[in-house]
Structure 1
Amino acid sequence: MAESARVPRHCGIVPFVDVELARPALTEVERALVDHVERGAVLDLAEDETIDRTEMRSWDTSRAVRAAVVRDILRGRLAPEPDPHGLRLRGARITGRLDLENLTSTVALELRDCLLSDGLIARDAHLPTLDLTGSVLEHPHAAPMAATRLTTTALFLDQVVVEGHSASGAVDISDARLGALQCCGAKLCNDSGPAVDAERMQADQSVFLRDGFEAVGTGKQGTVRLHSARIGGQLSCQGAKLRNDSGPALHAERLQVGENVFLRDGFEAIGAGAVTVTLSGARIDGLLVFQPARLEHLTNPSARLNVDGLVYSEVPAGLTTDDWLRLLRGGTPFYAAQPYQQLAAAHRAAGHDDQARRVLLAQRRDQVLRRAITSRAERAWVRFTGLTLGYGYQPWRALIGLVAAIAVSVVLACALGGHGGLTQVRNPPAPGPAPCTLVERIGIGLEVGTPLITPGTRTHCDTTDGATGQILTATGWALRFGAWAFATLFIAGFTSAVRKT
């Protein structure tokens, strides 16, 4: 008997076993894969035929490659001198969970149109490229693609199908460091959490979730979660369809994008919970193109969009200014001044001063109508300044009121003065009334209705003590008060004294 066999078990020493000898021999398909990796060629087990995803689960051993073999190739154990093209495999069934956790490799990994029935884990992995285009990823209990803190120059998930049952996300790339993310035409579903969790992800280039991209998620974290993510290039969700029956469809709070953001060309978002789409606190250094084909909250139409704190550098495209204002007024869950101020600032920077004033007027209306102001006195004052000054942005309204008060004064003075309301002032006094001339009556009207102007007409034409004269006197006081009020409001509005955010 060998010496190692007589070592007592309680000593904690086990006989040496050669791992290489213990590993099952490579299958014919696996040997072919190693050969193709060394030659830099694609091993296409589908032989260029179109893949029918409904038949993937029926693939036999002629299509099977063990996940451990893929891992060993990436580690350099089976292909010590791989071609720079890396591992390229198409139409294969990967058996077992592909575990790349903590793996650092110089070999690019391309698994196109493959079935990963136990999913992929790539936490803290460092890979040149990860390409899963056209593949199907599943897992009955965990995230089909768990890739938190993954580092790679490019992640390709075009046309992938991912079905998850994990609270951490069907595709979990939170804290990942990517060059670019391309996820065009993908179909992602998770009945226990997000479809894509990319919280705090950093992508140096662009992120594409477009061209038929569909995602269904569950819960308050959102279907597509880009919370605090940073994207150096553009974010394109053109034609994307997002749905969540119990939470946000797109959660992009504090997202930072270095270029343009596209949410158009058939973009749809259907959500529930707090809000359907949240871009609160986000920053877009380029152009925001927002033109959803469908933006819906399942229970509350006023909770479709949250853009409080969103900052962008240009006037948003896609929606007209009127459309934006309707959405801010009727599609946001609460009143906030910042979205209006940001939109007005963008218009002002573009030289659209009229549009900027329209936005600020709409803000004040929203502030009153959405009950941001609760005091009755303050609400009454805001309504009054809205009517007379356009909330301080249209002071010409008060000027019109002033002119109207003067005109009414002149008309009354002319009308009532001709019916005993005015009489000539005689010195010395003479018996009997003497009607004032038309010019004198106009002068009395101007004196009554114009603040700070005293033509001196009263020295030779004044009101009588009769009923008509008393009516003219009382009416004159009211008109003079109104003229003073309109003049004061005009000055206050012109100097922005009544404007508030």
Structure 2
Amino acid sequence: MEITDLTPAERRIRDAFPRGEGVDFREDPDEDAADGHGWGPERTVRADVLAALLLAGPTPNGQVAELNVRGARITGKLNLKYADVEHAIRLRGCWFERKPQLYGARLRAVSLSQSALPGLTASIVSVDLALRLSGCRFTGPVRLAGARIAGGLFLQDALIRPDAGARADADADAEEHDEPPLQLNHTEIGTDIVADGLTVHGQLRVNGATVAGQISLDRARLLAPGGIALHAETVSVGTDLRGHRLEAEGMVNLTGARVPGQLMLTRARLANPGGVALRASSCAIGELWLRRCPPIDGIVNLRRSQLDMLYAEPETWPAVVRTEGLGYRVLHPLLPAEQRLPLLEREETGYLPYAYEQLAAAYRTVGDEAAARSVQLAKLRRHRRTQPRHTRLWGLLQDVTVGYGFRPLRAAFWLLLLVLTGSLAYGLHHPRPLKPGEAPDFNPVFYTIDLLLPIIGFGQEEAFAPGGWYQWLSYLLIVTGWILATTTAAGVSRSLQRQ
């Protein structure tokens, strides 16, 4: 088209473009661009005119041209496919009749903040500075797969809600409503993705993305009930992935993610009833924070992930938690082992020895040896339930007598109880001497100890022989002594093997 064939509104933009000056069509600074379909011709601009200025507009020497427009009604399609644009594009608070086409373009800087658009096609786009979509209202998919942005991507308070009832886009295809509304897969971001307050009705896809800084989804709402709300497999960030007060309806899938700093899900609400709510398997994460979250509604899968620190209150975990191969160094908040152990019963595959060893190691890291022993004892008790019935009996004896070696004072308690019982019984009724006149003076305490301890002899057991039920009591004391000695030896051996 001829660039001279312009309306008054378009001439204002043409005249301001070479000098980089802004053109503001707004009647009210707080107006909503979503109402732009009703704006009149005095603020209507053809997309072809804007494309012509960007691709061949006049640029006087000594001045920096820039397309800087606010509050325009843009008709037609802004087509910059494969274009090489040297000028900044700022179309803020504008209403777009059709989704801009930026596929494969090389751009300097782009800001569409506070605008209303039927979608955005910008796959494989290259942006030298930043791409700003803050506060935008999209009624179609935003395609940024494979984008290369040297600066940051900004999506604060944006709304992406594909709506079949919205105005039709001539380029829309039949499958558009089935694709993810926000596609950031395989993007490369030079600094951060800032999407605080973002709302997506459908899936946010970030698979394979590389972000040099952080991804911030604080207060974001990702609404894909029954589906995948956040699909971020193998995403790699330079620092943190934040989701403070994140609301996710559907699965949060972080399989294979690399987050050297913090995966911050404090006060987040994760819900996928009947399915997996959080899948963070095979991840490498510095710190995983689930602090003060409401109970997660759905399965949590942390299998084969490696964490430096895990912060989660026991009440946060759902009924099923998959922890096979999960490794962590520190566990917060520091709670008694009895409050952490029920989580290990929620693994679908049953008894996992490694999970108990990992929890015990975490307690040892902070110097809580008593809690570590409690976890080891719980592990052996859990293991006992998996054994045949005849084997369980021996385990039960070790547990009752010495707590599998983790409760050595329990053996002393049993020994003291039996010594008191035998001393009282034989003190009231002395057994008869085997060789009258040669037997030493009878001592009920040392006689009982002689019966109980097979490796110690005070000469009492060989010198006296009880009768009647006292004889049966002596048999009981002898058998009990052997059981105590054997289980104690087994417990000591187990302790030495651990060390």
Taking the TM superposition and a 5 Å limit, the aligned residue runs for 1:302-451 are: 303-314=276-287, 316=289, 318-319=291-292, 323-328=312-317, 330=319, 332=321, 335-339=322-326, 341-342=327-328, 345-347=329-331, 361=341, 364-367=344-347, 370-373=348-351, 380-381=385-386, 397-418=406-427, 423=431, 426=434, 429-430=435-436, 436-444=442-450, 447=453
Letter in 2 for 1:403: A
Aligned match for 1:213, one of 168, 189, 198: 198
Give the whole-Å Cα distance in 2 for the aligned partners of 1:136 and 1:148: 19
Over 3 Å counting, the alpha-carbon distance change for 1:419 and 1:439 in structure 2 is closer
- TM value normalised by structure 2: 0.75
**1:37 offset after TM fit, Å?**
1.3
**1:480 offset after TM fit, Å?**
2.8
Name the SS for the 1:106 alignment partner. Answer: coil
Name the SS for the 2:161 alignment partner. Answer: strand
**Is the 1:88–1:109 contact (alpha carbons within 8 Å) kept by the matching residues of 2?**
yes
Deviations 1:414-459 (A, max 9, x none): 3444465x74765xx12999984143145236515xxxx5355555
Unpaired stretches in structure 2, ≥5 consecutive residues:
163-176, 294-309, 353-380
Taking the TM superposition and a 5 Å limit, the aligned residue runs for 1:3-82 are: 25-46=5-26, 49-75=29-55, 77-81=56-60
Give the whole-Å Cα distance in 1 for the aligned partners of 2:253 and 2:28: 43
Give the whole-Å Cα distance in 1 for the aligned partners of 2:58 and 2:419: 102
Name the SS for the 2:130 alignment partner. Answer: strand
2:302 alignment counterpart:
none
Segment of structure 1 superposing worse, 308-317 or 354-363: 354-363
Letter in 2 for 1:290: L
**Is the 1:424–1:434 contact (alpha carbons within 8 Å) kept by the matching residues of 2?**
no
2:258 alignment counterpart:
283
Give the whole-Å Cα distance in 1 for the aligned partners of 2:387 and 2:134: 54
Over 3 Å counting, the alpha-carbon distance change for 1:459 and 1:389 in structure 2 is closer
Give the whole-Å Cα distance in 2 for the aligned partners of 1:156 and 1:359: 46
**1:97 offset after TM fit, Å?**
1.9
2:125 alignment counterpart:
150
**Is the 2:216–2:242 contact (alpha carbons within 8 Å) kept by the matching residues of 1?**
yes
Over 3 Å counting, the alpha-carbon distance change for 1:229 and 1:401 in structure 2 is farther
**Is the 1:64–1:92 contact (alpha carbons within 8 Å) kept by the matching residues of 2?**
yes
Give the whole-Å Cα distance in 2 for the aligned partners of 1:55 and 1:353: 50
Is 1:269 the counterpart of 2:230 in the alignment? Answer: no
Percent identity of the aligned residues?
Answer: 22
**Is the 2:82–2:104 contact (alpha carbons within 8 Å) kept by the matching residues of 1?**
yes
Letter in 2 for 1:269: A
Give the whole-Å Cα distance in 2 for the aligned partners of 1:336 and 1:493: 26
Segment of structure 1 superposing worse, 462-471 or 317-326: 317-326
Name the SS for the 2:385 alignment partner. Answer: helix
Over 3 Å counting, the alpha-carbon distance change for 1:24 and 1:307 in structure 2 is same
**1:387 offset after TM fit, Å?**
9.2
Name the SS for the 1:103 alignment partner. Answer: coil
1:247 alignment counterpart:
227
Give the whole-Å Cα distance in 2 for the aligned partners of 1:109 and 1:62: 21
Give the whole-Å Cα distance in 2 for the aligned partners of 1:172 and 1:285: 28
Name the SS for the 2:289 alignment partner. Answer: coil
1:11 alignment counterpart:
none
1:228 alignment counterpart:
208
**Is the 2:181–2:201 contact (alpha carbons within 8 Å) kept by the matching residues of 1?**
yes
Deviations 1:138-157 (A, max 9, x none): 1xxxxx11211121121111
Taking the TM superposition and a 5 Å limit, the aligned residue runs for 1:55-134 are: 55-75=35-55, 77-81=56-60, 83-84=63-64, 86-134=66-114
Unpaired stretches in structure 1, ≥5 consecutive residues:
1-19, 139-143, 165-169, 218-222
Give the whole-Å Cα distance in 2 for the aligned partners of 1:57 and 1:388: 81
Over 3 Å counting, the alpha-carbon distance change for 1:119 and 1:183 in structure 2 is same
Over 3 Å counting, the alpha-carbon distance change for 1:331 and 1:102 in structure 2 is farther
Give the whole-Å Cα distance in 1 for the aligned partners of 2:382 and 2:187: 49
**Is the 1:424–1:460 contact (alpha carbons within 8 Å) kept by the matching residues of 2?**
no
Over 3 Å counting, the alpha-carbon distance change for 1:46 and 1:322 in structure 2 is closer
Is 1:296 the counterpart of 2:271 in the alignment? Answer: yes
Give the whole-Å Cα distance in 2 for the aligned partners of 1:358 and 1:381: 21
Over 3 Å counting, the alpha-carbon distance change for 1:356 and 1:278 in structure 2 is farther
- TM value normalised by structure 1: 0.74
Over 3 Å counting, the alpha-carbon distance change for 1:406 and 1:379 in structure 2 is closer
1:197 alignment counterpart:
183
Segment of structure 1 superposing worse, 91-100 or 190-199: 190-199
Letter in 1 for 2:20: G
Aligned Cα RMSD in Å? 3.8
* Number of residues of Structure 1 aligned to a counterpart in Structure 2: 432
More strand by share: 2
Over 3 Å counting, the alpha-carbon distance change for 1:62 and 1:306 in structure 2 is same
Name the SS for the 1:248 alignment partner. Answer: strand
**1:488 offset after TM fit, Å?**
1.8
Give the whole-Å Cα distance in 2 for the aligned partners of 1:68 and 1:267: 40
